[in-house]
Structure 1
């Protein structure tokens, strides 16, 4: 008589299934979106620089800040970037399930489990994941 031992997956394992793939896909989609927006900004600044006889080319110095502004405004405003929304990943506060305020993504510690000892930052843990929605939520420490 052969017995096969079957250990059903825990709820935490089923909630984390495919998260890394979705996060990588979200990052790739966001990088494509930022690249398209960045090239549109380069084109607009170049035309603006020609129209202002070169004075407007100083605006090229704002382009390195594009990723920081992109993530801060989108995660702080809606709780997800367009790539994260397309893949079903959302950053939420644990107590109210509201999107984080815009200074939280600015700190750069959104959804890092090792940052739970820092005051005012967001952290992810299996207990803060909602089972029905298959979305990762983060709690404020």
Structure 2
């Protein structure tokens, strides 16, 4: 009975609505949460690249046609493509990872979800920083930083470790939450 009271106190102390304890997402207790996560993340990234690049490509086409119509004056807008692409990517990741699903479109297709270390869903600033740190660490440390996911139980990449986030299989989340509530 004392262990049950301690677990219930641990659950309520963390303040999360899902009922996860502070030691949520243990790779040894729930390995199904992390099974296939790296492969799914790769394909989710490719889907997100398509989602991110489609409006940028449409914008470039619009500027090119606008430049032809204005006899070359519209091509002066090409300088906006790079900053607009960066802003679009930050807003996309911030809004999607900080939204109700805590996942980008690609992650939702691949049935993944981002959570904090303690099991809380993401929020806008965390989602935006997740994207920024991914691109910064990737550009500084080369793609070899992606290998860090192979050597830890939670399949976390370097930017996940720095931000305290975990990417999990969303399909098995409900059964894990139910097992935590039964304590």
The normalised TM-score by structure 1 is 0.61
SS in structure 1 of the partner of residue 124 of structure 2? coil
- Report matched runs for 1:102-113 at 5 Å: 102=125, 105-106=128-129, 108-109=132-133, 112-113=159-160
Change (3 A) 1:28 1:53: same
Within the candidate set 108, 112, 120, 1:89 is matched to: 112
More helix by share: 2
Q: Quick one: distance in 1 between partners of 2:112 and 2:118?
A: 18
Structure 2, unaligned runs of 5 or more: 1-26, 98-102, 135-156, 176-183
SS in structure 2 of the partner of residue 90 of structure 1? strand
- Report matched runs for 1:5-24 at 5 Å: 10-24=28-42
**Structure 2 match to 1:41:** 59
Query: RMSD of the TM alignment (CA)?
Result: 3.5
Q: Does 1:60 align with 2:78?
A: yes
How many residue pairs match? The answer is: 119
Change (3 A) 1:63 1:89: farther
Tell me the CA shift for residue 28 of structure 1: 1.1
Q: Quick one: distance in 2 between partners of 1:125 and 1:92?
A: 5
Q: Quick one: distance in 2 between partners of 1:73 and 1:29?
A: 17
**Structure 2 match to 1:72:** 90
**Structure 1 match to 2:7:** none
Q: Quick one: distance in 1 between partners of 2:32 and 2:126?
A: 32
Q: Quick one: distance in 2 between partners of 1:96 and 1:123?
A: 10
Structure 1, unaligned runs of 5 or more: 1-8, 116-121, 135-141
Which fold has the larger relative contact order, with Cα–Cα distance below 8 Å and residues 6 or more apart in sequence?
2
